Amino acid sequence: MIESRLQQNLQQIQFQIAEACRRSSRDPGDIRLVAVTKYAQWEWVTALAGLHSVFGENRPQQLAERQQLLPDVQWHLIGQLQRNKVRLALQHAACIHSVDSLKLLERIALIAEELNIRPPVLLEVNISGEESKSGFSAAELRSCWDQIIDVARHMQISGMMTMAPASDDPQAARPYFTALRELRDVLQQRSPAEICLNELSMGMSGDFEIAVEEGATLVRIGSALFEGLD
């Protein structure tokens, strides 16, 4: 029952991604669905693990616990990371989407060097400039870019992540997704060859089709995936 519903939701989302790709002449193989499990019951998570292998969690503690129980799944951290949880996150997350300050970047660099790893990270950008959102401002990223590249020697900066302002109209998100892509293009041009800002983590249940049309490579979807389960 749970499994068939999940399969149905997953297929529906994949169909919508494929349609958005068709509209924008993209290859669906370039888009990864991050199944956001932060509100999902454990029973649903285990059922989903039989169907899908990239999951996202908001909290490092819950990510670490679930990663140990389902180690074959790739767990992405998508929520705010406190500096005292960096070690935990690096030990359990396959990718951190939510690096939102230079101080956090410095902390990750320190622990990554200690653990002798080069973790993939995305820089979270507050592209809308809303007070309530965390992330680098676009201006800050542009002005600190050389410094960021320098701090990030022990990481792979793989791209950017953003959240559009909440809205009932998915089209309202489009300018923010376009702006993130354009910012990425500018910063890519200013980067040495070894830095590949290929990933754009943008789009959630309400706006992922628009995000795909605007170049998302990672869409983070929770509620649409678990719809109809309770």
Which residues contact ligand PLP by CB under 6 A? Answer: 36, 38, 58, 78-79, 163, 204-206, 220-224
Distances 178 to 93, 114, 145 between C-alpha atoms, Å: 28, 37, 20
For the bound state, the minimum distance from the C-beta of residue 124 to ligand PLP, rounded and expressed in Å, comes to 9
Residue number, 38 or 85, with CB nearest to ligand PLP: 38
Q: Which residue is nearest to ligand PLP (CB)?
A: 222
- Residue 87 or 133: the one with the smaller Cβ distance to ligand PLP is 133
- 191 burial class (0-12, 13-18, 19+ CB within 10 angstroms)? middle
- Beta carbons within 10 angstroms of residue 129's beta carbon: 12
Nearer to ligand PLP, 51 or 166 (CB): 166
We find the least distance from the C-beta atom of residue 161 to ligand PLP, in angstroms, to be: 8
* Residue closer to ligand PLP (CB basis): 52 or 220: 220
Q: Using an 8 Å Cβ cutoff, are 68 and 92 in contact?
A: yes
Q: Of 192, 200, 202, which Cα lies nearest the Cα of 152?
A: 192
Minimum Å distance from CB 80 to ligand PLP?
9
How many residues belong to the chain? 230
Minimum Å distance from CB 226 to ligand PLP? 8
